[in-house]
């Protein structure tokens, strides 16, 4: 099943892997949220780093965080000589702590992801998948803690309908540029992509903002006027 990387066609696999941001500690994974990351990115001039509401949690696993392992897939109308070749390669090459993030061009005509891919990815320690594509086998995925973010469901197999043509290359997902190693975070509000070059700064500022919001929340709950609290802390 596993082939040498040298056998991949030119341009289909990036040579560099970025290993920073190996995923958040469990406690921080549970307390961080996409809105605060988006706010921090806005504040440093990195606006519009969030996907549209069309990409949403499809399973019970509604929080995902980790390094971006990028995948590009495009519609096809033929059965390939090697079925699922790069789709399987993505799972085999991704490392524990990665999030598969897939530009599939909002393909609604078939399912890209299903139960057996989830089982394999989870066993590898992959943290989840974010895709502009559909999933199937929801009877099984809904019982899994593996986060699957997508645009819908379909019973159709992707074989001969949607084919991976690039791994670990810069892609654009739902209008957001994503490079291998960027930090991906998703929750019930949506998905935010934090560029790797500012990820450490953004995560540190997010921690501080969350701490400030906790203080603001306590004072609002105690009945202080919201305008007074906002003037005091500048947080809303």
Q: CA nearest 94: which of 130, 132, 125, 73?
A: 125
- The dihedral region occupied by 99, where left means phi > 0, alpha psi between -120 and 50, and beta the remainder, is beta
Mean pLDDT of the chain: 87
Asked if pLDDT for residue 219 goes beyond 90, the answer is no
pLDDT band for 12, please (50, 70, 90 cuts).
Answer: very low
In this structure, of 51-55, 164-168, 205-209, the range with the lowest mean pLDDT score is 205-209
Q: Quickly tell me which residue has 């990195």 as its tokens.
A: 46
Q: Is pLDDT larger for residue 22 or for residue 143? A: 143
Q: What domains, with CATH codes, occur in the chain?
A: 10-197 (3.50.30.40)
Predicted TM-score of the model (pTM)? 0.85
Mean pLDDT, residues 6-25: 40
Asked if pLDDT for residue 7 goes beyond 70, the answer is no
Measured between alpha carbons, how far apart are the two ends of the chain, in Å? 52
- Residue 24: the pLDDT is 60
Using a pLDDT cut of 70, give the percent of the chain over it: 87
Q: Is pLDDT larger for residue 217 or for residue 38? A: 38
Taking only the tens place, the pLDDT of each residue in 107-136 is 999 999 999 999 999 999 999 999 999 999
Q: What is the CA radius of gyration of the chain?
A: 19
Q: Give the torsion through C-alpha atoms of 128, 86, 133, 15, to 10 deg.
A: 70
d(CA 56, CA 191): 8
Taking only the tens place, the pLDDT of each residue in 24-69 is 655 566 789 999 999 999 999 999 999 999 999 999 889 999 999 9
In this structure, of 10-24, 112-126, 155-169, 188-202, the range with the lowest mean pLDDT score is 10-24
């Amino acid at each position: 099943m596993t082939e040498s990387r040298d056998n991949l066609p030119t341009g289909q696999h990036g040579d560099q892997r970025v290993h920073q941001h190996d995923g958040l500690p469990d406690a921080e994974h549970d307390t961080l949220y996409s809105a605060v990351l988006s706010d921090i990115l806005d504040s440093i001039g990195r606006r519009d780093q969030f996907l549209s509401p069309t990409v949403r949690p499809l399973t019970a696993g509604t929080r995902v965080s980790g390094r971006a392992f990028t995948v590009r897939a495009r519609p096809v109308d033929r059965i390939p000589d090697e079925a699922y070749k790069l789709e399987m390669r993505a799972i085999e090459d991704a490392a524990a702590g990665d999030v598969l993030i897939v530009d599939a061009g909002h393909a609604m005509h078939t399912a890209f992801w299903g139960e057996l891919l989830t089982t394999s990815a989870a066993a590898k320690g992959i943290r989840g998948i974010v895709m502009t594509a559909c999933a199937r086998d929801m009877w099984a995925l809904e019982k899994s803690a593996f986060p699957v973010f997508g645009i819908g469901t379909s019973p159709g197999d992707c074989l001969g309908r949607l084919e991976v043509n690039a791994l670990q290359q810069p892609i654009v997902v739902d209008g957001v540029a994503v490079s291998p190693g960027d930090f991906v975070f998703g929750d019930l509000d949506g998905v935010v992509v934090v560029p790797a070059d500012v990820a450490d700064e953004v995560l540190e500022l997010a921690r501080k903002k969350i701490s400030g919001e906790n203080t603001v929340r306590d004072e609002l709950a105690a009945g202080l006027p919201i305008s007074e609290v906002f003037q005091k802390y500048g947080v809303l």
